[in-house]
Amino acid sequence: MDSIFTKLIGTLAVILLVSAFLGGSDILSRFIKTEKKWKYSVIFGILGGLFGIYGNISGFQLNGAVISVRDIGPMLSGFVGGPLGGVIAGLIAGVHRLTMGGVTANACVVATCCIGFISGFVSLKFHKFVKKPYYALLLGALSEVFHLGVVLIMVKPFETALGIVRQIAIPFILINAVGFALMVTIITYTEKQKNLVIEKSRMQSELEVATVIQHSLLPTVNESYPGRKELDVSAFMETAKEVGGDFYDVFQIDNNRIAFAVGDVSGKGVPAALFMATAKMTLQNCIRDIPSLAEAMMTANRSLCARNEADMFVTLWVGVLDLVGGEMTYVSAGHNPPVVVSGHEPKYLKTKSGFVLAGMEDVQYRENTLKLNNGDVVCLYTDGVTEANNSEKELFGEERLLKCFDGIQSLSAEQLINKVKGAVGEFVGDAPQFDDLTMLCFRFKGGAKENKLTVDAEKENLDEVIGFVDSCLEKIDCPPKAQMQIDLAVEEIFVNIASYAYGDETGKAEISVQVSGNEITIVFADSGILYNPLEKEDPDTTLSADEREIGGLGVFLVKKNMDDVSYDWVDGKNILTVKKIIR
């Protein structure tokens, strides 16, 4: 019996090896490109028949019988190709067995064909059960018991058949049953692995698309966007996974206000990315629709809480910058304080922060203000920067980040971000990225600027003076009505200077225009005779033109059209200042 086990196991090992190789490679899939099931049945029937033939050839003679693992081929074909595949394999292996002769030849042909059909029929009806190893083992054992039963019935004399069955029953049933179970296990495992590879490839493709979509939701910050000469802006985001929960945003609210935001959603991957998209769009809509930034944040928080079945939240820092005056209103919702560089000193803008967005309803947020001057830098970031780990589990930290902003007066916003990225990368080294890295940096290049014109105090220069003032107003999109009122005031004041300041002599008039926020200040200076036009009483406009005293009406109209008019005598000069709030 030991020799029977040894011979059968040797043959079985070769069949299993070949099956594992075919199943693990894509050889069959290259040649089997059809959706017609009967073609699969035929192809796998032929393959199972070849296994059966090999089983016949590698078997051994015992009292006129050929003992082999031939039945595994038809059983395998039945499992894969159904009854048709099992019958084809059984016929091929059976016919080959018939050519070998012996007392059991006819019985083996009948048994092998029937086993192929039975295996195919059972697998077709109960495939999910046969895929389980113990059910496959049971089906294989019952098939071989059936095979031996056919031998006992068909082989004559009965004593010869019984003698053969007694000698081979245990190893024959066991080896063929175990072999079939192993074959089913190999096929099932291979099929599962291939499906996993396909599913992984599909998921990878979807993640790549999700990455593209996520980045498309972020503004492409460059010279064309936001396209304001008052700003030098750059942004960067690198996710720890294919998609992440960090985001940044830059968008205009109106002609002179622009919003900056950086946020970090709890968690990572696709759920965080989906919540990020919702939070970003909700926040942008609220800021554009609601004048108060604090109110906009409260509205956005209520909206996100109402649709937050996943119990996610987002930390956020958002600021609204007035590009004309440089005043920035900002709100922090549990986010890292930005780095602000004013002059040569970098520091963190640490103020009391509000609660995270989507964490709790009816949260109150408080606005803060920051005055930016020309050349000041603001850098927003997520905790993936300060909490970046190196191989020794050390954090990059706030101190290292702050040092990145030493001596950066000549650097652009993009160069600043690259400097921080380089410092973080050098610190982290080969350690895996722990969290999303996001930065948004801008340098303010606007602010209150004074434009000055000096001309001879002659009426002929009025057009030049008006043109100079109008050019300053056009830069800030001054409304036409306000521009007309300002032009009338400029004309009245300059003509007065040209007419009376220097008498018959020629002198200079200095006109300077300064814009701060929504306020325009125009200063007229001359070195003529001391004269305060505001000392004269306003004319009584209720009287008729004949009844009113001559003069004074022009200055009166200036005071009516301007929001503030003041006079001073400084260093031997008449200084007349008019102010107009345009919005």
State pLDDT tens for residues 543-560.
Answer: 444 444 544 578 888 999
Q: Where are the domains of the chain?
A: 2-196, 218-444, 449-581
Name the CATH architecture for the domain at 218-444: 4-Layer Sandwich (3.60)
pLDDT at 179: 81
Which whole number is the average pLDDT over 191-211? 74
Q: Give the torsion sign (CA, 471, 472, 474, 479).
A: negative
Separation CA 94–CA 115 (nearest Å): 11
CB atoms within 10 A of CB 347: 12
Separation CA 174–CA 543 (nearest Å): 126
Q: What would the pLDDT profile of 74-133 be if each residue is shown by its tens digit?
A: 888 888 888 998 899 889 988 988 888 888 889 988 999 999 899 989 988 888 888 888
Dihedral (C-alpha) 393, 396, 398, 399: value to the nearest 10 degrees? Answer: 110
CATH 3.30.565.10 is right for the domain spanning 449-581: yes
Crossing angle of helices 269-289 and 293-306, in 10° steps, is 140
pLDDT at 75: 87
Question: Which residue type occupies 561?
Answer: N
Q: Which of residues 58 and 117 earns the better pLDDT score? A: 117
Instruction: Inform me whether the pLDDT recorded for 43 exceeds 50.
Output: yes
Q: Which of helix, strand or coil describes residue 412? A: coil
pLDDT at 16: 60
pLDDT at 227: 80
Which whole number is the average pLDDT over 497-508? 90
24-28, 136-140, 238-242, 471-475: the lowest-pLDDT one:
24-28
Instruction: Inform me whether the pLDDT recorded for 497 exceeds 60.
Output: yes
For residue 157, whether the previous peptide bond is cis, meaning omega lies within 30 degrees of 0, is yes
Average model confidence (pLDDT) across the chain:
85
Tokens of 354: 């509000």
Phi, then psi, of 246 in degrees rounded to 5: -75, 155
Instruction: Inform me whether the pLDDT recorded for 329 exceeds 60.
Output: yes
197-201, 211-215, 325-329: the lowest-pLDDT one:
211-215
Give the full edge-to-edge strand order of the sheet including 377-381: 231-238, 437-444, 377-381, 339-342, 345-348
Instruction: Inform me whether the pLDDT recorded for 305 exceeds 90.
Output: yes
Separation CA 444–CA 327 (nearest Å): 11
Separation CA 108–CA 68 (nearest Å): 11
pLDDT at 546: 46
The closest alpha carbon to 448, from 265, 267, 326, belongs to: 326
Q: What would the pLDDT profile of 378-390 be if each residue is shown by its tens digit?
A: 999 999 999 999 9
Domain boundaries 2-196, CATH class = mainly alpha
Instruction: Inform me whether the pLDDT recorded for 14 exceeds 60.
Output: no
236-245, 307-316, 347-356: the lowest-pLDDT one:
236-245
For residue 480, whether the previous peptide bond is cis, meaning omega lies within 30 degrees of 0, is no
